[in-house]
Each structure stands twice: as structure tokens, then as C-alpha cells.
Amino acid sequence: MNKRSVSQTKRAIMEAALNLFVKHGFTRTTMRMIAKEANISVGALYLHFKNKEALCLFILREKLGELFRKLEDVTRNKTKAEEKLKAFMGTCIEYAKDNRELIVAHSAEKGFTFGLEIKKEYSAKQRGLIKEIVLEGIRTGEFKEIDVEGVANTVMALIRGFVLSLVIDEECNLKEKDYFLPLFYGLKKG
């Protein structure tokens, strides 16, 4: 018998579910299929998640948490506010590209309102990180005095638009000059 920790089992369940959701969609994927793919019994799966919706919400929280940790890491490793903002936006776009199939499957079957409270929570965290970056840029003289809340909302709206573009058109190949330069020149001082 393969003994796994609870976190290892949940990770195996999540990976199995993600693979199946991308391959078959949320609706056609069953808990039985997930259990088989994760190499656990159906009963064990239900010990971890009461239903497929609870599993989907867990995955959503995990994926958004993973993205936020990446955003914190890439912005922490930069010294200038401009570089932090570029890294923030670039990381969001790359993460969307890397998870395109899941985003498409999720959007098509669950819709944008599924897990709305979780999405709002992480959106607020992301906006908070953007505001910190912009305030830092103002303090250091990199950025002009500007409505920080407005910039944060604009950046988030741009990112959502880019993600939607990636979902609609898999050939969409956004480059830094396409998304960052127009925003940056509105922020840059002098």
C-alpha cells in the first residue's frame, strides 16, 4: 500500500483532476475518473473533497495562490519599481499562457463567476501588490504623482483583457512592448 501524506494525496488529486478537466472538461470528468487517475479509491477521494465543486474550488485557490507567490517572488527580486511592474505583468501573462487549456476549460463550463469570492480575494491581493509597486515608484521618483488606485485597477483590467485574448486566440503572442510600454509612459516621471 502506498502511504502518502495528506498534502501529497491532495496534490495527486489536483494534478489528476487538472489533467482530466483539460482532456474531458469539468462536466464530463467524474469523481471516479479522478480517483482512478490519482491512484486512490473513490472513498478516499471523498474523504478529501465532498464533491467535484469543492475540488474545483480547491484547485482554483491553489492555482491563484501559486500565481500570487510567483508575483511576490519576481517583484521582490527587482530593485526598481519599473522592473517590478514589468515582472508583475509579464508573470501574469506567462502564467495565463502556461495554463491556457485549464482557463479555457474552466471558462467554458464553470464561467467567470465560479469561485467569485476566491477570485476577489486574490484580485485584491494582486491590486495591493501593484499599489505597493506604484507607491514605491512615486517615493523613489521613478513615477510621477498619480492615482495609485486607478493605476492598480487599470493594470488588473489590462491583465484580464490579455488573459481573455489568450483564451480566445491561442496564437495571440503578446510582447512586453504591447502591454507595458503604453502603461509605463503614462507613469514615468519626466
CB 114 within 8 A of CB 26: no
pTM score, two decimals?
Answer: 0.84
Could you identify the residue written with the cell 494582486? 126
Among 4-13, 85-94, 123-132, 173-182, which stretch is predicted with the lowest mean pLDDT?
173-182
Q: Are residues 137 and 174 in the same domain?
A: yes
188 backbone dihedrals φ, ψ, rounded to 5°: -60, 135
pLDDT, one tens digit per residue, over 145-160 is 999 999 999 999 988 8
What lies within 8 Å, CB to CB, of 36 at 6+ separation is: none
- The pLDDT of residue 184 is 62
Residue 29 and residue 71 in one domain: no
* pLDDT, position 181: 59
- One domain for residues 46 and 130: no
pLDDT surpasses 70 at 174 = no
Shared-domain flag, residues 5 and 99: no
What are the tens digits of pLDDT across the range 70-110? 999 999 989 999 999 989 998 998 898 888 888 877 777 77
Same-domain pairing of 143 and 114: yes
173 in any annotated domain: yes
What is the chain's mean pLDDT, rounded?
Answer: 87
Cell of 44: 478516499
- What gap in Å lies between CA 77 and CA 62, rounded to an integer? 23
Question: Domain range holding 140?
Answer: 60-187
pLDDT at 71: 97
Rounded to whole angstroms, how far apart are CA atoms 92 and 85? 11
Clarify whether residues 29 and 111 are in a common domain: no
Q: Are residues 14 and 84 in the same domain?
A: no
In this structure, the answer to whether residues 30 and 94 fall within a common structural domain is: no
Burial class (CB in 10 A: 0-12, 13-18, 19+), 6: exposed
Would you state the pLDDT for residue 39?
95
